[in-house]
Amino acid sequence: MALILGIETSCDETAAAVVQDGCTVLSNIVASQDSLHIEYGGVVPEIASRAHLERILPVIEQALEQSKTTLKEVDAIAVGNRPGLIGSLLVGVAAAKSLSWSLDIPLLTVDHVIAHLWAPRLDGIEIEYPAMGVVVSGGHTALMLMHDPTQVECLGKTIDDAAGEAFDKAAAILHLGWPGGPKIDTAAAKGTPIHRLPRPKTKGDRPDFSFSGLKTALLYGVRGNPTKQNGKSVFPRDANELSESEINDWAASFQEAAVDTVIAGLHHALAHHDVRCVVAGGGVLANTLLREKLNATATSYNIPIHLPDSLYCVDNAAMIAGLGYHLFTEGHRDSLHVTASPRGIAS
């Protein structure tokens, strides 16, 4: 039996978890910073790293307490050290290194985007490899051919905005608030996708994604075509002139186009690679339509699909501890010289 303490601070969630043998979650603490960033309509990196500093130790203590584990019982520390906001990542990495050094136990660093694809295993699901991984989050949108949990090839990724970022920007255009994904999801459920928005395709053979054209199409659709006045773009109208049902219809139209874009990439990847299942992860997996369409796509290829419980869709440390366990059993160890990186396999 191995107990791994996982730490995750890549963006604006301060998280720690204790996981037994990679799949049994004994505790999973996530301190969201949404309330600190809401007035800015997005994550402010400096505020995020300061908040991580204040919260990291209490969050780790809570994770240990809830799992009824003492530090002495922990076998290894796993930390997401890439990709993400560098100031945020450094807080988690410094905490993990200090614990590894003081307890004299192994340190394991993981790419948090790949860790999203461990999330279904926290629900006890076995994954058969090779698998097609789909990560749809606030910072990343990527398709990965997985030979095993860590031997992963990135087949395609976003060339501009990530899908979650596009949801957040769409919600800002529609004045729905932040974080935008859940707001668009709720509004879309009450609307009809009556507006035909583009499903941008990237050039070339790779199933890369692009969401910025879709966002601009929504902006022009909602606010009309802008004119230049004194070098500034001036729009003929604003979303607050629309009725609630018009907003809902735009939200539904945007959501459908964004989801179709992800699904088109998955079709491309599945048509070119033989895999035994699809595995998906990331915050946008909380989206109802995306889950439905991912299920339908895998079914059309006659392969199973594993979607994480919504608890494990957002950034969390249980998935980090899980992937860390896999590395631990493979004999992998990181040195205390390891550092954080804003880039990872999908960025």
Among 161, 208, 315, 334, binds ligand KG4 (CB under 6 A): 315
Give the integer Cα–Cα distance in Å for 324 and 312.
Answer: 16
Among 298, 314, 319, 327, binds ligand KG4 (CB under 6 A): 314
Task: Give whole-number Cα distances, 205 to 153, 213, 260, 265, 297, in Å.
Answer: 15, 19, 18, 11, 20
Pick between residue 106 and residue 283 the one whose CB is nearest to Zn ion: 283
What residue 180 binds from ligand KG4, Zn ion, none (CB within 5 to 8 A, per partner kind)?
ligand KG4
> Minimum CB separation from Zn ion for residue 156, in Å?
18
Pick between residue 131 and residue 289 the one whose CB is nearest to ligand KG4: 289
Q: Where are the beta strands (DSSP E) in 141-243?
A: 141-146, 152-157, 227-229, 232-234
* Token output for 149: 């949990």
| Stretch near ligand KG4 under the rule CB under 6 A, chosen from 93-101, 142-150, 179-187, 219-227 | 179-187
Spatial contact of 340 and 93, defined as CB atoms under 8 Å apart: yes
Pick between residue 56 and residue 64 the one whose CB is nearest to ligand KG4: 56
Output the furthest CA–CA distance in the chain (Å, rounded): 67
What residue 316 binds from ligand KG4, Zn ion, none (CB within 5 to 8 A, per partner kind)?
none
Q: SS3 of 112, please?
A: helix
Give the integer Cα–Cα distance in Å for 258 and 100.
Answer: 42
| Stretch near ligand KG4 under the rule CB under 6 A, chosen from 195-203, 223-231, 261-269, 284-292 | 284-292
Among 110, 247, 279, 286, binds ligand KG4 (CB under 6 A): 286
Contact code string over 40-69 relative to ligand KG4, x by CB under 6 A:
------------------------------
What residue 179 binds from ligand KG4, Zn ion, none (CB within 5 to 8 A, per partner kind)?
ligand KG4
* Token output for 341: 């990186």
The answer for residues whose C-beta is within 8 angstroms of residue 272's C-beta and 6 or more apart is: none
What residue 133 binds from Zn ion, ligand KG4, none (CB within 5 to 8 A, per partner kind)?
none
Among 22, 265, 283, 324, binds ligand KG4 (CB under 6 A): 283
Nearest partner of 88 among 12, 16, 2, 140, judged by Cα:
12
Give the integer Cα–Cα distance in Å for 65 and 106.
Answer: 21
Environment class of 314 (CB within 10 Å of its CB; exposed 0-12, middle 13-18, buried 19+): buried
* Token output for 137: 């989050």
Using CB under 6 A as the binding criterion, the count of chain residues that bind ligand KG4 stands at 20
Nearest partner of 154 among 141, 164, 165, judged by Cα:
141
Pick between residue 100 and residue 316 the one whose CB is nearest to ligand KG4: 316
Among 87, 92, 156, 164, binds ligand KG4 (CB under 6 A): 164
Instruction: Enumerate binding residues for Zn ion (CB under 5 A).
Output: 137, 315
Give the integer Cα–Cα distance in Å for 173 and 216.
Answer: 10
Quick one: how far is CA 13 from the chain centroid? Answer: 11
Spatial contact of 76 and 105, defined as CB atoms under 8 Å apart: yes
Among 185, 208, 249, 334, binds ligand KG4 (CB under 6 A): 185
Contact code string over 209-248 relative to ligand KG4, x by CB under 6 A:
----------------------------------------
Pick between residue 149 and residue 181 the one whose CB is nearest to ligand KG4: 181
> Minimum CB separation from Zn ion for residue 276, in Å?
24
Pick between residue 92 and residue 106 the one whose CB is nearest to Zn ion: 92
Output the CA torsion 338→343→346→347 (10° steps): -170
Quick one: how far is CA 144 from the chain centroid? Answer: 14
Please report, as residue ranges, which positions from 12 to 41 form the binding site for ligand KG4 (by CB under 6 A).
none
What residue 181 binds from Zn ion, ligand KG4, none (CB within 5 to 8 A, per partner kind)?
ligand KG4
Q: Which residues bind ligand KG4 (CB under 6 A)?
A: 11, 137-139, 164-165, 167-168, 179-182, 185, 282-284, 286-287, 314-315
